Amino acid sequence: SSELTQDPAVSVALGQTVRITCQGDSLRSYYASWYQQKPGQAPILVTYYKDNRPSGIPDRFSGSRSGNTASLTITGAQAEDEADYYCNSRDSSGNRVIFGGGTKLTVL
Amino acid sequence: QVQLQESGPGLVKPSETLSLTCTVSGGSVSSGSDFWTWIRQPPGRGLEWIGYIHYTGSTSYNTSLKSRVTMSLDTSKDQFSLKLTSVTTADTAVYYCAKEVFWGGYYYDYMDVWGKGTTVTVSS
């Protein structure tokens, strides 16, 4: 499969927990990675594989997978977490890369 | 620490060829698990994968762009390049180069290093 589906927009109250999801057939085989993008900036990697975070990414960001759905959870959302979030994985063949359409997170 | 920097013209005329280069510093393009990748983002829209090249010369391209895309690698300069032919206004976007790490045996990949992006406008 060559599609990953994300909700276009999600909102969360400051300090609360939010889950952003990504659905696709490829996720039954491949783990998703998640990226945060703020306006005018390049994306940055926030989680990958089972629940790995690059150095410098706060531990309030976590990743998980169940069936064909990958999730990015932010526990205790901060104002600076307001951004667009994208998921990606290899497609089911493993030969191509696919991105979700992105989710705009608003922190209220 | 690996860093990437895109370079190339910011303005391309319709029907001409878009050419960009990404320079890798702090590392080498000759790494087995790294796939050197181009991604673009049209104004106000999401990320679109264009393709990747591996140091072995293996390439893979987005099916929708495959007929117009060519990627190449210069290991002596630690650079990789993108050519996109017959451009139209729909190719106007910020173009990013990125390093993808892929572990096929463990079924995961991630883009851990991104360039800052370069804006390419297609206009006469």
Mean pLDDT on A14-28 = 97
Interface of A with B (CB under 8 A): 2, 29-31, 33, 35, 37, 42-45, 48-49, 54, 84, 86, 88-90, 94-102
Contact A30 B107 (CB under 8 A): yes
Q: What is the pLDDT of residues B13-33, one digit of tens each?
A: 999 999 999 999 999 998 888
Q: Which residues of chain B have pLDDT under 70?
A: none
Contact A45 B48 (CB under 8 A): no
Share in percent of chain B as helix, strand, coil (round to 5) = 5, 55, 40
> Measured between CB atoms, which of A45, A94, A102 is closest to B46?
A102
pLDDT attached to residue B32: 84
> Measured between CB atoms, which of A54, A95, A97 is closest to B100?
A97
pLDDT at A2 over 80: no
Contact A99 B37 (CB under 8 A): no
Which residues of A fall within a CB distance of 8 Å from B38? none
What are phi and psi for residue A98, nearest 5 degrees?
Answer: -130, 150
Q: Compute the distance between CA of residue B109 and CA of residue B89 in angstroms, rounded to an integer.
A: 31
Q: Are B97 and B37 in contact (CB under 8 A)?
A: yes
Whether chain A has a CB inside 8 Å of the CB on B107: the answer is yes
The position carrying tokens 């032919």 is B85
Mean pLDDT on A59-70 = 97
Mean pLDDT on A21-48 = 97
pLDDT attached to residue A1: 52
Q: Which residues contact B95 (CB under 8 A, 6 or more apart)?
A: B6, B20, B38, B39, B40, B50, B82, B117, B118, B119, B120
